[in-house]
Amino acid sequence: MINAGVWLILQIVNTFLWLFRSHWYPQIIQFLAIHSNLRHLVIHPWTLITYMFVHEGFWHLLFNMLWLYWFGKIFLQYLSQRQLLATYFMGGIAGALFYVLMFNVLPSFENVFFYSFAIGASASVMAIVTAIAFYVPNYRMQLMFIGPVKIYWIAIFFFVYDLLNIRSGNAGGHLSHIGGAMWGWFFVYSLRKGKDLTFGFSSFVKWFTALFEKKNKFKITYSEGERFTDEEYNLQKRHNQAEIDRILDKIAKSGYNSLNEREKDILFRASRK
């Protein structure tokens, strides 16, 4: 909704500026876009956030939002809304920083880094795509003319595609996609190690989601001193059960001694419940 709303507002502004023969529209985009010029980023730090909600072309917006919708629905089957929103923001920031870093250290960009800029939600969406693809790698999507394909391979395909197309005219875009994808992978890697990197994002997410939710929409439950909505509690419960099922499958295939200390601890705590 925010991405579509920002696009619509910018198009309306652009129309009015055109009617009055004003040339301020490019300056507005520049004001919201992330720039590879470090000096510009220091003076305009908000662009780390605003760039990921700005789309100029309708098709750019449409395809990003379709990907966000398709993979976001899969994401929410296994993880929480808080983790989805945090992955969107943190993946977008990671993509922006990776783009800025590469343009400032790689010799190939020394002639363009001063005026290069990037916009769009692609890095944020790639973070979500990569995160859920590595979290449930065997999940299959039905692709037209191809059939069922594991989303793991879809994520790898687009990562390689971005890597091979850095030499194209949209190097900044492809680099930001790679940065977002790297964050998505790292988030799932840390999650499997028992560390949820999105927990520090909770306060912001509660404020942000409250803007779009009716009061008292969900009841509040309590667990180990933390406060969860019914939706988050049920998602966490399903996640825990899926982890236990995975551990039991591992025991069936390789025996109890094949478990690591974390897996043994999870199984022990589950047996006490």
How much is the pLDDT for 231?
Answer: 62
**CA–CA distance, 106 with 84 (Å, rounded to integer):** 32
Phi and psi angles of residue 118, each rounded to the nearest 5 degrees, phi first: -135, 145
Residue 122 near residue 64 (C-beta atoms within 8 A): yes
Cα 12 to Cα 29, 32, 42, 49, 118, distances in angstroms: 13, 16, 29, 22, 21
User: CATH code for 2-210?
Assistant: 1.20.1540.10
Tell me the average pLDDT of the chain: 85
pLDDT at position 237, please? 73
Sign of CA dihedral 59, 63, 65, 66: positive
Quote the tokens at residue 169.
């005219």
What percent of the chain shows pLDDT beyond 70? 85
203 vs 196, 207, 211, CA distance in Å?
A: 15, 6, 13
200 alpha-carbon distance from chain centroid: 16
Residue 174 has pLDDT above 80, yes or no: yes
Residue 8 has pLDDT above 80, yes or no: yes
Stretch among 168-172, 218-222, 226-230, 243-247 having the lowest mean pLDDT: 218-222
Q: In the prediction, which pLDDT does 223 show?
A: 46
Task: Indicate the pLDDT class of residue 260, thresholds 50, 70 and 90.
Answer: confident
Look at residue 224 and give its three-state secondary structure: coil
The pLDDT tens digits for 110-164 are: 888 788 999 999 999 999 999 999 999 888 888 887 888 899 999 999 999 999 9
140-143 and 147-150 strand pairing? antiparallel
Give the C-alpha distances (Å, rounded to integers) separating 63 from 76, 123, 154, 195.
20, 13, 15, 32
Q: For position 234, what pLDDT does the model report? A: 66
Task: Work out the percent of the chain whose per-residue pLDDT is above 90.
Answer: 52
Contact between 99 and 91 under an 8 Å Cβ cutoff? The reply is: no
Average pLDDT value for residue range 232-241? 72
pLDDT at 273: 62
Query: Tell me: the pLDDT tens digits for 194-235?
Result: 888 887 776 666 666 666 665 544 544 444 445 556 666 667
Mean local confidence (pLDDT), 178-187: 96
pLDDT value at 270 more than 90: no
Which band of pLDDT confidence, cut at 50, 70 and 90, is reported for residue 262?
A: confident
> How far is the C-alpha of 182 from the C-alpha of 187, rounded, in Å?
9
Domain boundaries, the chain: 2-210, 220-272
